[in-house]
Chains A and B, each alone.
Chain A
Amino acid sequence: MAPAFAQGLPTLDTVPTAYNHEFRAELLYELCAALVQEGLGGPETWRKCDESAQVFAQRAIMESIGEERWNLLQRNVEYHLSVSDLAERDGEDTLLGNGRLAVTIECSGCGFLKIGPAVAALEEEAEGLGAAFYWTLTYALYRVMRIYNHDDALQYDERMHEYAADDEENREQYEFPEVEKALPECIRKTLTCDDHYSFTRNARRVLRGHAGGQYRSWIEGLRKIQQLSRVRLPTDVHFREDGGYDTIPLPSLMVAFKEHDAIVACFDEESDYMLEGSAEPTVDVVFSPRKPEEVRHALRVVARFVALNCALFQLVEELQEWEKRHAGTDLDRGEPSLRVA
């Protein structure tokens, strides 16, 4: 056998086998600087981060949310906040470019609000108060996040009827959730309100009239949510439109009237395929860390979203506690309309 030619293959001894380089790392440092300039994170935070800018940015954002609010959100909902220089474009990650970053919040596990007992208690307090509470909360949340409620369930019910009508052979196999029957009477009779402006004005008046009553804490919570939802914080529509997402954001909250009512049944059916496609983020803001006004706008959008969610889940937990305290009492009679159904 011929001896190996020693100079035929170059030696690998001098070739590095491990590399470490962070692309566009300057964006991360610019983000960190922007956070510091806006009062998020400081030398104390930096000392805890073992010189990692990424950990610093994460910690600075988390500190601004605060441990108590962080835990409240953790208990009730699954949000993911990310800051990235990439955006989704037709299923592919694409560089935003021009030194821009996008802060997004996505929901992968929605909260649950069983509002039936509270609506019943409010209706018992005064006719129309429960409906006013429900609709005011619904419209406030619509402005800020996707929720799954009676309306989604009614649409699902309608689709099922359409599918059944088109499927003559298997028509008997379709199950219809009968959502409308599962709604409390006070909600059912206000489903098709012709004069929305007049209804909401009246709802405000009814709620104001009971703001000092025994359910003042709920009404205060609702008022806080409503105020936060009305803060005008425009976002860049192109981010979503250009993203080529398959569907609208996943719901952040599921609102049902009973533990296992028709709305819950519809949600269970629909949630099976909610995660199949790509969903728009719940919150998205594009900003340049070099432009303080854009940084401030992005921070305001996130801060408003966090504050509103905290107010919402405080109310959710308060209603849960109230329900636990009143289990087995007169106030736990359930919704009359559901008993009829």
Chain B
Amino acid sequence: MQSKVTTAADLLALFAAKATVPPPETSQMLVRHFQCKESLAAAQYLTEAMDRYAAGSGHPLQAPAELLPPLG
């Protein structure tokens, strides 16, 4: 592609093509994640939990009561 760019018009066409190219398949999941508010919030909670875990000498974190129904 690079060798074909000989004029400003070629360059403009190249930039136009690159601007509209969809993300690679391997990154689709990442793109979906960043487009989803819930996913971003979940990632934030997870990061904060990991920080608390790291700061708390590795003690297991207590699960929030509202997420786990009581056993029995």
A interface vs B, CB < 8 Å?
Answer: 16, 19-21, 23, 25-26, 29-30, 32-33, 36-37, 41-43, 46-47, 51, 53
Alpha-carbon distance between A43 and B2 when the two chains are bound, in angstroms: 9
Partner of B18, one of A20, A23, A43, A53: A53
Q: Type the 1/0 row for B23-36, where 1 means its CB is closer than 8 Å to any CB of A.
A: 11011011100100
B57 at the interface (CB under 8 A from A): no
Alpha-carbon distance between A102 and B8 when the two chains are bound, in angstroms: 24
Partner of A19, one of B8, B10, B12, B30: B30
Alpha-carbon distance between A43 and B27 when the two chains are bound, in angstroms: 29
Alpha-carbon distance between A37 and B13 when the two chains are bound, in angstroms: 12
B19 at the interface (CB under 8 A from A): yes
Residues of the A chain whose Cβ atoms lie less than 8 Å from the Cβ of B20: 26
B62 at the interface (CB under 8 A from A): no
The reply to whether A23 and B15 contact each other, CB–CB distance below 8 Å, is no
Instruction: Contacts A16-B26, A47-B5 given; indicate if A29 touches B11 (C-beta within 8 A).
Output: no
Residues of the B chain whose Cβ atoms lie less than 8 Å from the Cβ of A23: 34
Q: Nearest CB to that of A32 among chain B residues?
A: B15
The reply to whether B23 and A29 contact each other, CB–CB distance below 8 Å, is no
The reply to whether B15 and A53 contact each other, CB–CB distance below 8 Å, is yes
The reply to whether A20 and B27 contact each other, CB–CB distance below 8 Å, is yes
Partner of B15, one of A19, A20, A30: A30
Instruction: Contacts A43-B10, A46-B5, A46-B11 given; indicate if A19 touches B27 (C-beta within 8 A).
Output: yes
The reply to whether B5 and A29 contact each other, CB–CB distance below 8 Å, is no
Residues of the A chain whose Cβ atoms lie less than 8 Å from the Cβ of B18: 25, 29, 53
B interface vs A, CB < 8 Å?
Answer: 1-2, 5-8, 10-12, 14-16, 18-20, 23-24, 26-27, 29-31, 34
The reply to whether A36 and B8 contact each other, CB–CB distance below 8 Å, is yes
- Known: A36-B11, A46-B11; 14 extra A-B contacts, CB below 8 A, are A19-B30, A20-B27, A21-B30, A21-B31, A25-B19, A29-B15, A30-B15, A41-B11, A43-B6, A43-B8, A46-B2, A46-B14, A47-B2, A53-B15
Instruction: Contacts A16-B26, A19-B27, A20-B27 given; indicate if A43 touches B16 (C-beta within 8 A).
Output: no
The reply to whether B5 and A36 contact each other, CB–CB distance below 8 Å, is no
- In terms of DSSP, what is the predominant structure of the interface of chain A? helix
Instruction: Contacts A42-B11, A43-B6, A47-B5 given; indicate if A33 touches B27 (C-beta within 8 A).
Output: no
The reply to whether B12 and A37 contact each other, CB–CB distance below 8 Å, is yes
Alpha-carbon distance between A148 and B19 when the two chains are bound, in angstroms: 44
Least Cβ–Cβ distance between B2 and chain A, in angstroms:
6
Residues of the A chain whose Cβ atoms lie less than 8 Å from the Cβ of B1: 51
Residues of the B chain whose Cβ atoms lie less than 8 Å from the Cβ of A53: 15, 18
Alpha-carbon distance between A30 and B17 when the two chains are bound, in angstroms: 11
Instruction: Contacts A46-B2, A47-B5 given; indicate if A36 touches B15 (C-beta within 8 A).
Output: yes
Residues of the A chain whose Cβ atoms lie less than 8 Å from the Cβ of B27: 19-21
The reply to whether B12 and A36 contact each other, CB–CB distance below 8 Å, is yes
Least Cβ–Cβ distance between B40 and chain A, in angstroms:
12
Q: Nearest CB to that of B30 among chain A residues?
A: A19
Residues of the B chain whose Cβ atoms lie less than 8 Å from the Cβ of A25: 18-19
Q: Which residue among A29, A41, A42 has the maximum number of chain B CB atoms within 10 Å of its CB?
A: A29
Partner of B16, one of A21, A29, A47, A51: A29
Residues of the A chain whose Cβ atoms lie less than 8 Å from the Cβ of B5: 43, 46-47
Least Cβ–Cβ distance between B14 and chain A, in angstroms:
8
Alpha-carbon distance between A23 and B27 when the two chains are bound, in angstroms: 11
Alpha-carbon distance between A21 and B21 when the two chains are bound, in angstroms: 12
Least Cβ–Cβ distance between B19 and chain A, in angstroms:
4
Residues of the A chain whose Cβ atoms lie less than 8 Å from the Cβ of B15: 29-30, 32-33, 36, 53
The reply to whether B2 and A42 contact each other, CB–CB distance below 8 Å, is no
Residues of the B chain whose Cβ atoms lie less than 8 Å from the Cβ of A36: 8, 11-12, 15
